[in-house]
């Protein structure tokens, strides 16, 4: 009886604490097009990092206070030629390190106030980035592992190219231990047969200049999207994939650098889902950022699990118009994530939300009745729908134009004319991975990201 009373009191206390935490959901209308890729958590607020369109493309930072209200914006001209991914990490002093796509400089360090400390060019932009001590680690396009001097931006070492030689592989996750041991997951699929993704695991021993391969001791076709070193283990989250089948099962793996499985915990959802990013909170529990969708709607998903694999709670955030790509732990123990929101069909703006420690948003400043241009499902398989909203007069906001899908190398993979307010694009022949879509007519252009499963 006493144990039940103590447990009940503990739950009540946690609920009261969560209710007292500030929350918000906001967008930032400073750019013609912008998709916030990285969020940094600071004691006095948050910073988003991304590529944004004004008169040209800039690398951009937006600083908010703890309520999500804008304090400043800063734009840096690095001669960026196209939209693409931005990844980043942060040191103990709050300095921010970011790698971004296609510029005369594509790696930079900024102070907590957004002042540029150094910038440089690296042959391959980064898919994953991590900081250990004064060493910046990057797993990049082309499947290379770099180490850089975090103080100066000088290159220290670059590996030989790893993963398959046909260029089908993409780095999905990297975990680096404090002693310099590194594990990289490179995932690929057979472009000829369309077989499901497979994972190649690469291990760099501390102090070594070579990468060794190892196999994870499971036959599950799982893509591991985010990995971190937790003590002697690597902890990864990912989703189950089969040909022509969207994921509805997601996994948390704990394993050693020789491939030995410590534990596998799965979560079967009643809807399609995917696990992409995670943080470990102050109670040593996982909170995972993902997506949840069916044929009609999609949401951002936050899912909490114990280290032992017990499911604690799941929250759905946003709607078809909102997407989130990065997650951090907030100073008060809540969670902050950034991404984008389609305000109208032709405007994609940075989007930031902050939840309490139970993953709940108690207030929002975004009107619920705004028309949005829907792209669903995202992640997609077989086909994807591009649907224009209706104007105040009840007519489609767009029924003429063109839809273009490009891969991460900028190659046009699909080009399809728009002839009605709803366009269904067949993507069965596309390889799995990240794509960029552009929807345009003679007056306006909308851009965004599409994940093909």
Residue 401 domain flag: yes
Give the residue ranges of the chain where pLDDT is below 70.
1-20, 164-169, 188-198, 241-247, 295-296, 343-346, 363-373, 389-399, 441-447
For 327-353, the pLDDT digits (tens) are 999 999 999 999 998 755 557 889 999
Position 346 scores a pLDDT of 59
Given 371, 400, 433, the domain boundary residue is 371
For residue 258, give the CATH number of its domain: 2.130.10.10
Same domain, 176 and 217: yes
| Domains: count for the chain | 3
Q: Tell me, letter by letter, the H, E, C secondary structure of the chain.
A: CHHHHHHHHHHHHHHHHHHHCCCEEEECCCCCEECCCEEEEECCEEEEEEEEECCCEEEEEEEECCCCCEEEEEEECCCCCCCCCCEEEECCCCCEEEECCCCCCCEEEECCCCCEEEEECCCCCEEEEEEECCEEEEEECCCEEEEEECCCCCEEEECCCCCCCCCCCEEEEEEECCCCCEEEEEEECCCCCCCCCEEEEEEECCCCCCCEEECCCCCCCEEEEEEEEECCEEEEEEEECECCECCCEEEEEEECCCCCEEEEEEEECCCEEEEEEEEECCCCCEEEEEEEECCCCEEEEEEEECCCCCEEEEEEECCCCEEEEEEEECCCCCEEEEEEEEEECCEEEEEEEEECCCCCCCCCCCCCCCCCCEEEEEEEECEEEEECCECCCCCECCCCEEEEEEECCCCEEEEEEECCCEEEEECCCCCCEEEEEEEECCCCEEEEEEEEC
Structure tokens of 185? 């997951």
Query: Burial level of 385, CB count in 10 A (0-12/13-18/19+)?
Result: middle
Residue 13 domain flag: no
Give the range of the structural domain holding residue 438, as residue numbers without chain letter: 375-452
Same domain, 224 and 100: no
Same domain, 158 and 94: no
Same domain, 188 and 215: yes
Same domain, 97 and 140: no
Max distance between CA atoms of the chain, in angstroms, equals 71
Bond before 379 cis per omega within 30 degrees = yes
Given 371, 390, 419, the domain boundary residue is 371
What burial letters (b/e) apply to 295-309, b meaning 16+ CB within 10 Å? eeebbbbbbbbebee
**Residue for token digits 């918000």?**
24
Residue 113 domain flag: no
Same domain, 147 and 98: no
Same domain, 50 and 165: no
Same domain, 301 and 252: no
For residue 385, give the CATH number of its domain: 2.60.40.3080
Of 131, 133, 54, the closest CA to residue 349 belongs to: 54
Query: Burial level of 21, CB count in 10 A (0-12/13-18/19+)?
Result: middle
Please say whether the beta carbons of 117 and 125 come within 8 A: no
Of 415, 450, 409, 414, the closest CA to residue 433 belongs to: 450
Position 377 scores a pLDDT of 84
Residue 249 domain flag: yes
Residue 165 domain flag: yes
Position 83 scores a pLDDT of 86
Same domain, 98 and 173: no
Given 346, 371, 396, the domain boundary residue is 371
Residue 443 domain flag: yes
Same domain, 159 and 255: yes
395 CA to centre of own chain: 34
For 288-325, the pLDDT digits (tens) are 999 888 766 788 999 999 998 888 999 989 888 889 99
Same domain, 237 and 300: no
Position 45 scores a pLDDT of 96
Q: What Å distances lie between residue 161 and 55, 139, 168, 237, 249, CA to CA?
A: 37, 11, 13, 25, 32
Same domain, 353 and 387: no
**Residue for token digits 């940094």?**
40
Residue 117 domain flag: no
Residue 280 domain flag: no
């Amino acid at each position: 009886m006493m144990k039940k009373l103590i447990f009940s009191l503990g739950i009540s206390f946690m609920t009261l604490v969560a209710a007292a935490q500030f929350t918000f959901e906001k967008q930032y209308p400073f750019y013609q097009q912008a998709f916030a890729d990285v969020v940094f958590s600071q004691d006095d607020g948050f910073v988003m990092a991304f590529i944004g369109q004004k008169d040209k493309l800039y690398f951009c930072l937006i600083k908010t206070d703890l309520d999500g209200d804008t304090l400043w914006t800063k734009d840096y001209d690095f001669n960026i030629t196209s939209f693409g991914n931005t990844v980043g990490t942060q040191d103990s002093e709050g300095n921010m390190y970011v790698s971004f796509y296609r510029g005369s400089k594509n790696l930079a360090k900024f102070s907590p106030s957004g002042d540029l400390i150094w910038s440089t060019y690296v042959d391959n932009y980064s898919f994953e980035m991590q900081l250990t001590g004064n060493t910046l680690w990057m797993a990049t396009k082309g499947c290379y592992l770099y180490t850089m001097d975090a103080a100066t931006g000088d290159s220290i070492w670059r590996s030989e190219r790893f993963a398959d030689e046909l260029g089908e592989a993409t780095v999905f996750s990297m975990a680096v231990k404090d002693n310099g041991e590194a594990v990289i997951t490179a995932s690929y699929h057979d472009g000829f047969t369309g077989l499901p993704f497979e994972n190649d695991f690469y291990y760099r021993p501390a102090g070594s200049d070579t990468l060794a391969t190892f196999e994870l001791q499971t036959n599950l076709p799982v893509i591991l999207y985010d990995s971190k070193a937790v003590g002697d283990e690597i902890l990864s989250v990912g989703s189950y994939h089969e040909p022509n089948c969207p994921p509805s099962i997601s996994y948390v793996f704990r394993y050693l650098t020789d491939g030995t499985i410590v534990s596998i915990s799965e979560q079967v959802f009643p809807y399609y889902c995917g696990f992409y990013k995670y943080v470990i909170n102050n109670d040593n529990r996982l909170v995972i950022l993902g997506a949840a969708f069916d044929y009609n709607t999609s949401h951002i998903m936050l899912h909490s699990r114990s280290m032992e694999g017990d499911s604690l709670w799941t929250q759905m955030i946003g709607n078809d118009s909102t997407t989130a790509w990065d997650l951090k732990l907030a100073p008060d123990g809540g969670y902050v994530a950034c991404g984008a929101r389609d305000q109208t069909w032709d405007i994609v703006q940075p989007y930031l939300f902050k939840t309490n420690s139970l993953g709940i948003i108690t207030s929002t400043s975004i009107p619920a009745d705004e028309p949005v241009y829907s792209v669903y499902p995202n992640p997609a398989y077989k086909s994807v729908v591009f649907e224009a909203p209706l104007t105040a007069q009840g007519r489609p906001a767009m029924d003429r134009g063109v839809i273009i899908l490009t891969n991460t190398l900028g190659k046009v993979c699909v080009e399809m004319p728009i002839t009605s307010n709803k366009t269904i694009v067949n993507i069965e022949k596309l390889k799995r991975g990240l794509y960029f879509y552009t929807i345009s007519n003679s007056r306006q252009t909308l851009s965004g990201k599409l994940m093909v499963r």
